[in-house]
Amino acid sequence: MKTRRLGRHGPDVAALGLGCLSFGGIFGPTTEAESLRTLSAAWEAGITHFDTANIYGNGLSETVIGTWLRSTGHRPHIATKAAFSDDPARRIDNRPDHLRAELEGSLRRLGVDHVTLFYAHRHDPQIPAEDLAGTMQRLVEAGMILGYGLSEVSPTTLERAHAVHPVMAVQNEYSLWTRQPELGLIQRCAALGVAFVPFSPLARGVFGTPMADPAQFDPTEFRTRIPRFQPEHWPHNHTRLAAFHAYAASIGHTPAALALAWLLDRGSHLIPIPGTRRAEHLQAWLAAPQIDLTDHDREEIDRLLPVGWAWGDRYDDAQALTVERYS
């Protein structure tokens, strides 16, 4: 697989990473054996960057990855995240003691002495970005992480943190149905030499085959709360998406591969992290780095899914509380 640099001074990793959120059961039940097969299939396909977090299944995702690391001896670049707190008075916590303790727990579950990348899963508004960067710098100096990242932040938070200690990567939601990072964040990452890591690049499954169907969602899963999947919005979104699926098929690509190819085409510093809990699903998008979009492809995609086409917000009000808004 083609590679890209994880930040100006970071390692080279595969152009596509693997998002490991679903190993924690957020999209429905899964098994350790199934997750282990998915990790092995991703590795064999050339994916060298696995992205997880301490809250994915309350540590389950990290534990499964740790089991896989021990059983295979492979050494991919691991990114993990922390910041969410059980304290109802402080939902997001970027204080030094909290981040270090959470990182130590992640390292134990993963069975490693350091990770390549450690993100502040959200920016705590009570902690200045400069102080957060100082905390991360100390974790780098302690040898616990090679670099640090920020997630769901604004361009100004990136700039303030980067001025104290260079940021390796920024991770925000970005796809053909969520385009806010184009309003300055992707550009600032490029200017500063920071990797931009789009999460949910397949838009919560709507670019999958078959397309995600809200009627089939488990009542307990979080997508049932996303406005774009609600009855007043979904029919409009489905119509647009069906046209994109048809176009992908007409030029010989899966919709997932084409959606990821579009992201990779947006800049050489973008490293999308599609996720799946089943090894067979990888085949739908592994070809994305090999797809060279033509000018006609770009024009047709813009016609089918123009900026702002999606009906409804990407989060409900409660989900959006911890996201930095800048437009």
Q: How confident is the model at residue 26 (pLDDT cuts 50, 70, 90)?
A: confident
How far apart are the C-alpha atoms of 163 and 216, rounded to whole Å? 46
Residue 303 lies inside a defined structural domain of this protein: no
Percentage of the chain beyond pLDDT 70 is 100
Q: How confident is the model at residue 158 (pLDDT cuts 50, 70, 90)?
A: very high
What are the pLDDT digits (tens) for 94-111?
999 999 999 999 999 999
Residue 72 lies inside a defined structural domain of this protein: yes
Residue 326 lies inside a defined structural domain of this protein: no
Q: How confident is the model at residue 131 (pLDDT cuts 50, 70, 90)?
A: very high
Domain count, the chain: 1
Average pLDDT value over all residues in the chain: 96
pLDDT at 257: 98
Report the CATH number at residue 165. 3.20.20.100
Tell me the C-alpha to C-alpha distance, in Å, between residue 173 and each of 118, 180, 185, 311.
17, 8, 11, 16
Other beta carbons less than 10 A from residue 299's beta carbon? 11
Half-sphere exposure of 324 (CA within 13 A, CB side): 24
> Which segments of the chain are extended strands (E)?
3-5, 12-14, 18-19, 49-51, 77-82, 115-120, 145-151, 169-173, 195-199
pTM of the entire predicted model: 0.96
What are the pLDDT digits (tens) for 240-278?
999 999 999 999 999 999 999 999 999 999 999 999 989
Q: Which residues are registered as beta bridge partners of 145? A: 115
Q: How confident is the model at residue 29 (pLDDT cuts 50, 70, 90)?
A: confident
Residue 245 lies inside a defined structural domain of this protein: no
Is 64 exposed, middle or buried (CB count within 10 Å of its CB: 0-12, 13-18, 19+)?
buried
Residue 249 lies inside a defined structural domain of this protein: no
Q: How confident is the model at residue 28 (pLDDT cuts 50, 70, 90)?
A: confident
- Is 90 exceeded by the pLDDT of residue 27? no
Residue 246 lies inside a defined structural domain of this protein: no
Buried/exposed 164-181: b ≥16 CB within 10 Å, e otherwise: bbbbbbbbbbbbbbbbbb
Token representation of residue 119: 């993100």
pLDDT at 90: 85
Residue 202 lies inside a defined structural domain of this protein: yes
Yes or no: say if 28 and 15 are a contact pair by the CB < 8 Å rule: no
Side chain identity at 313, as an amino acid letter?
D
pLDDT at 218: 87
pLDDT at 86: 87
- Is 90 exceeded by the pLDDT of residue 25? no
Range of the domain at 188: 3-206+254-291
Catalytic residues: 56
What are the pLDDT digits (tens) for 281-325?
999 999 999 999 999 999 999 999 999 999 999 999 988 999 998
Token representation of residue 10: 């970071």
